[in-house]
Amino acid sequence: MKSRRVTIATCMALMLIACTDLRTIVEPTVDGIEPVEPTTTATADCGPDPNDPTPGPVDEPCNPGTGGGGGDPLPRTLQTIQNLAECRSGTDSDGDGLSDKCEYEVAWAFSPAMMVHPNDNVSRDEYYVVMPGAGNSIMIFYAFGYHRDNGIPLCSACPEWLGGSHVGDSEFIVMEISPARGSDNEWGLVYAYLSAHRGRSTDSSVLAGGWNMETDGDGRPVVWVSDGKHANYISQSACDGGAANFDSCDNNTESTRFWVDRKGNLGQINHRKYRSCRVPSRNRGLSRTECFWDSGTFYGWQKPRGGGAGAYSGFLSAFDFDKARATVHG
């Protein structure tokens, strides 16, 4: 990580902005960036009651899901699974109606490419949840699980409330995926909610249409990750304007991946892969465990100190991942 020195004057200049990452969960307010709003939103009148607090298997396929609205979904092809019927057959360890294989392949296919600063500390343990959404849609929650938030550039040594560094950084992305229709084999990213200091006064989170997302050479959706703070943006310019211009992707020249493996699937709230607050790090030397489904400050598998970051359970709940059907509209 870069060596960053800061003067008292610099810190004082930053006093008007709040530091990032949640301690309490509130509805997001967009500061500095207008959200990319979908033009239409169709909701499905089918499937289980979305207010049913008990997640369970999906019903029979029904139409429509949430519509694409403003453009075409960003297309991806799964490794082997071609359509929703195949997705619904096979071993289903967490009982949500989607097979283990389907959950893995969907999460892998749409996991974002991340444009990061080459000197940024982006050590992390990625986890995810895949479950049904409205209609035939499939929802993915990508939890980046950064070990540290390195603070605003030039202010890493500032107090946390001024945007300084802290242990744990719970940024995330929620995606709504439409299954392949017929035999065209083409699944689609309809919407993506990109967290960027969600709940803070510098909240710059947006709901983007899949058609607004950049793609890499592999056709994978791209997110720009602000240097030090790890807020997610749809473009370099959006990043540079984020958090009242304090976020920066100026020199984000390195590409990495949200890594998906089967151990990263958290299951469902009522069929968890890991016991409560016993989610391990897959990085050697980090022996602590973290909570995802249960409330608890996120400390990035490190010794708790300072304010930490917002609980993933609150974010999962805000997007209904603890209910029968999740939504991207938080």
Which of residues 57 and 67 has its CB atom nearest to Ca ion in the complex?
57
Cβ 186 to Ca ion, closest distance in Å?
22
Cβ 153 to Ca ion, closest distance in Å?
13
Which of residues 128 and 191 has its CB atom nearest to Ca ion in the complex?
128
Query: Which of 14, 98, 162, 192 is close enough to bind Ca ion by CB under 5 A?
Result: 98
Our finding on whether 247 is near Ca ion (CB under 5 A) is: no
Q: Which of residues 157-196 bind Ca ion (CB under 5 A)?
A: 169
Which of residues 41 and 270 has its CB atom nearest to Ca ion in the complex?
270
Per-residue binder mask for Ca ion (CB under 5 A), 220-239, x = binder: ---------xx---------
Cβ 322 to Ca ion, closest distance in Å?
12
Cβ 130 to Ca ion, closest distance in Å?
5
Query: Which of 28, 81, 94, 176 is close enough to bind Ca ion by CB under 5 A?
Result: 94
Which of residues 211 and 233 has its CB atom nearest to Ca ion in the complex?
233
CB neighbourhood size of 6 (10 A): 18
Cβ 98 to Ca ion, closest distance in Å?
4
| 45 bridge partner residues | none
Which of residues 68 and 175 has its CB atom nearest to Ca ion in the complex?
175
Helix H, strand E, coil C: the string for the chain is CCCCCCCHHHHHHCCCCCCCCCCCCCCCCCCCCCCCCCCCCCCCCCCCCCCCCCCCCCCCCCCCCCCCCCCCCEEECCCCCCCHHHHCCCCCCCCCCCCHHHHHHHHHHHCCEEEECCCCCCCECCEEEEEECCCCCEEEEEECCEEEECCCCCCCCCCHHHCCCEEEECCEEEEEEECCCCCCCCEEEEEEEECCCCCCCCCCCEEEEHHHCEECCCCCEEEEECCCCCCEECCHHHHHHCCCCCCCCCCCCEEEECCCCHHHECEECCEECCCCCCEECCCCCCCCEECCCCCCCECCCCCCCCCCECCHHHHHHHCCCCCCCCCCCC
Our finding on whether 203 is near Ca ion (CB under 5 A) is: no
Our finding on whether 117 is near Ca ion (CB under 5 A) is: no
Which of residues 20 and 38 has its CB atom nearest to Ca ion in the complex?
20
Query: Which of 96, 126, 203, 290 is close enough to bind Ca ion by CB under 5 A?
Result: 96
Size of the site for Ca ion (CB under 5 A): 12
Interface contacts to Ca ion, rule CB under 5 A: 20-21, 92, 94, 96, 98, 130-131, 149, 169, 229-230
